């Protein structure tokens, strides 16, 4: 099974500053045949289900602000929030959908400094 590991577990960033969250998979999630990374990022606020932000490692879901971006390939990925807003306080998860069982990272809690 693929194991997803995020770092850090929690992060405090000042409003307007950049926030960076890392995700590492225990094996590559890059499918050579279509050159796509089967990696998604989600945002979860208290009392709500997770919300899809990014898929294929770097494609923003419709309606997601462009301050959110995803990068990386193979086993190492990053979610970047370019200028933190108050509404971005949440827990963020990465997830691989390359192979079953689908797997999520343990989550990174993002707060305002």
Partner 1 sequence: QVQLQQSGPGLVKPSQTLSLTCAISGDSVSSSSSTWNWIRQSPTRGLEWLGRTYFRSKWYNDYALSVKSPITINPDTSKNQFSLRLDSVTPEDTAVYYCVRGLGTGGSYMDVWGKGTTVTVSS
Q: What stretch of H or E contains 51?
A: strand 51-55
Helix/strand/coil (H/E/C) assignment for every residue in 54-77: EECCCEECCCCCCCEEEEEECCEE
- By CB under 8 A, name the one of 25, 43, 75, 95 that touches partner 1: 95
Q: How far apart are CA 113 and CA 102, in angstroms?
A: 33
Taking CB under 8 A as the criterion, which residues in 51-70 touch partner 1? 51-52, 55-56, 61
- By CB under 8 A, name the one of 14, 106, 111, 112 that touches partner 1: 106
Point out which residues bind partner 1 (CB under 8 A). Answer: 1, 31, 34, 38, 40, 42, 49-52, 55-56, 61, 93, 95, 97-104, 106-107
């Amino acid at each position: 099974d693929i194991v997803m590991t995020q770092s850090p577990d929690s992060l405090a960033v000042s409003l307007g500053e950049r926030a960076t969250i890392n995700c590492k998979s225990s094996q590559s999630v890059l499918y050579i045949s279509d050159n796509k990374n089967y990696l998604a990022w989600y945002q979860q606020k208290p009392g709500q289900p997770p919300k899809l932000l990014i898929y294929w490692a770097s494609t923003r879901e419709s309606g997601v602000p462009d301050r959110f971006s995803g990068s990386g390939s193979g086993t190492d990925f990053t979610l970047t929030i370019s200028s933190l807003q108050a509404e971005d306080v949440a827990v963020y998860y990465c997830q691989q959908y390359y192979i079953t069982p689908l797997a999520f990272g343990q989550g990174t809690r993002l707060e305002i400094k």
